[in-house]
Copies of this chain bind each other. A is one copy, B any other.
Amino acid sequence: MNAPNTELLAEERLQVVEQALSNGALAKIRRMLNGGMAPADVAHLLESSPQKDRVVLWNLIESELDGEVLQYLGEEVRAEIVGRMTQGELLNAVAAFETDDLVDLLQELPERVSEQVLQAMDFQDRERIEAVLSYSEDTAGGLMNTDTITVRPDVTLDVAFRFLRRHPTLPDILDNLLVVNRRDEFIGILPLNILLTSDSGLLVRDVMRTETEVLRPDVSSDEVARRFQRMDLVSAPVVSDNNKLLGRITIDDVVDVIKEQAEHALLQLQGLDEDVDLFAPVLRTARRRGVWLGINLLTAFIASAVIGLFEATLQQVVALAVLMPIVASMGGIAGTQSLTIVIRAMALGQITPARGRSLVIKEISVGLLNGIFWSCAVALVAYLWFGDATLGAIIGISIVVNLATAALAGTTLPGLLKRIGVDPALAGGVLLTTITDVVGFFTFLGLAALAF
């Protein structure tokens, strides 16, 4: 019934290909790749393969499939493969692309190549593409397709329906016809299921829905994703400020935004990017990660400098050196939790200034409660370990102070960074641990310097 390899899990298919590659059974792979395997699965296979396998696999794919496979590849892997194609191959491959996919690709290509692709298209297509190209990639305008099917409000459903049937093909995702007037101004939507089940003598205007989600082309893709999720949309029209219908956005493109949005902030916190090739060359990966290590090294040196202020005290009470990482680490863990929660809530549009204040109070209360609880435990262990009650008291106080600081920094940093135009996810984690390290070491060693 369905092609046998559809039933294979992604990992199993990977293993089959791996074995065939190592046995040199290229004919088998060729049959598999071109024999009904979904283009998305072929793309997944390419992305999950080291670069040398990738070249072999790509050459086994028949050129008619190239375009479909390219559409499903991530940015970095796609750039690598497109870079190896001739101009003729590329033009062939992109011939069947939808507007938004083509625009994505064009934005990634070197200017010279993308000019050639545009020149090779007919006038109407080029005009459509250039309209979408004029919007930034991460806005509704950049996400939209121009494959709308429009209908006038003053025709009967029977006419609308026969008009629909005259199309030789319809878009894969078609839940609504879009109702526009003579000046191409958007009026409402006519859901296909209403068209199908209503009396065919009714007028479109009698059954269309006017209270519907409409997107302006400059709305951010994040906001588009939120609205699709909140309203369970399958598609939504994009309409200009003067109410002209520009295109529509479909759920398949929004799913990618939703996924990237969910991952983005969390990966950024660790200096990682969601769009990166798992098998990128060692040198390229090392360079990317190296920058991040360098930034974190700077913050580690700042912490060291704080410790350096107290060399004399450390010399006197060596137990301080043994215990001091505990204070810093507790602050870092708790602060990162607050930070992550707040960054995520900001991405979900859950924070206003007033809410922010009550959240700060809540997080600081949580920090103080946990601080008091765990500082008692740590103080007791420190006392039993080193037999010094003063040491126990000092570490206990330092942990309470550092957890409260961590909560305050974790909840307020994202808002402050956003206000000065810095991505909170990118800079927040580093700044936060710098603060908790400095405050942790300074409080702990400072109190010790006073006490001993």
Report the copy number of this chain in the oligomer: 2
With A165-B196, A292-B337, A340-B267 as known contacts, state yes or no: A355 contacts B2, CB within 8 Å. no
B10→A234 contact, CB < 8 A: no
**Which of B226, B290, B354 is close to A370, meaning CB atoms less than 8 Å apart?**
B290
Question: Does chain B have a CB within 8 A of A311?
Answer: yes
- Determine the interface band of chain A, counting residues with CB < 8 A from chain B: 35 or more
Question: Does chain B have a CB within 8 A of A318?
Answer: yes
A297→B326 contact, CB < 8 A: yes
A278–B325 Cα distance when bound, in Å, is 30
A278→B167 contact, CB < 8 A: no
A175–B174 Cα distance when bound, in Å, is 7
A286→B370 contact, CB < 8 A: yes
A247 to chain B, nearest CB (A): 18
With A258-B259, A325-B304 as known contacts, state yes or no: A11 contacts B293, CB within 8 Å. no
Q: Which of A34-42, A112-120, A126-134 contacts B (4 or more CB under 8 A)?
A: A34-42
Q: Which of A58-66, A84-92, A102-110, A210-218 contacts B (4 or more CB under 8 A)?
A: A210-218
Task: Please give, as numbers and ranges, the residues of chain B lying within 8 Å of A337 by CB-CB distance.
Answer: 270-272, 289, 292
User: Who on chain B is nearest to A258 by CB?
Assistant: B259
A355→B322 contact, CB < 8 A: no
B6→A213 contact, CB < 8 A: yes
With A14-B352, A289-B334, A381-B301 as known contacts, state yes or no: A197 contacts B211, CB within 8 Å. no
Task: Please give, as numbers and ranges, the residues of chain B lying within 8 Å of A326 by CB-CB distance.
Answer: 297, 300-301, 304
A48–B226 Cα distance when bound, in Å, is 14
With A258-B258, A330-B300 as known contacts, state yes or no: A321 contacts B341, CB within 8 Å. no
With A267-B340, A369-B283 as known contacts, state yes or no: A297 contacts B377, CB within 8 Å. yes
Which 7 pairs show the lowest CB-CB distances between chains A and B? A10-B349, A266-B266, A40-B230, A262-B262, A170-B193, A321-B321, A48-B350
Listed A/B pairs (15) with beta-carbon separation below 8 Å: A3-B211, A9-B349, A11-B349, A72-B230, A164-B196, A172-B175, A232-B252, A234-B234, A278-B345, A278-B350, A289-B370, A297-B377, A301-B381, A303-B325, A314-B322
Q: Which residues of A contact B (CB under 8 A)?
A: 1-3, 6, 9-11, 14-15, 18, 36, 38, 40-41, 43-44, 47-50, 72, 164-165, 167-175, 187-188, 191-193, 196-197, 210-214, 223, 226, 228-232, 234, 251-252, 255-256, 258-259, 262-263, 266-267, 270-272, 278-279, 282-283, 285-286, 289-290, 292-294, 296-297, 300-301, 303-304, 307-308, 311, 314-315, 318-326, 328-330, 333-334, 336-337, 340-341, 344-345, 348-355, 358-359, 362, 365-366, 369-370, 373-374, 377-378, 381, 385, 437
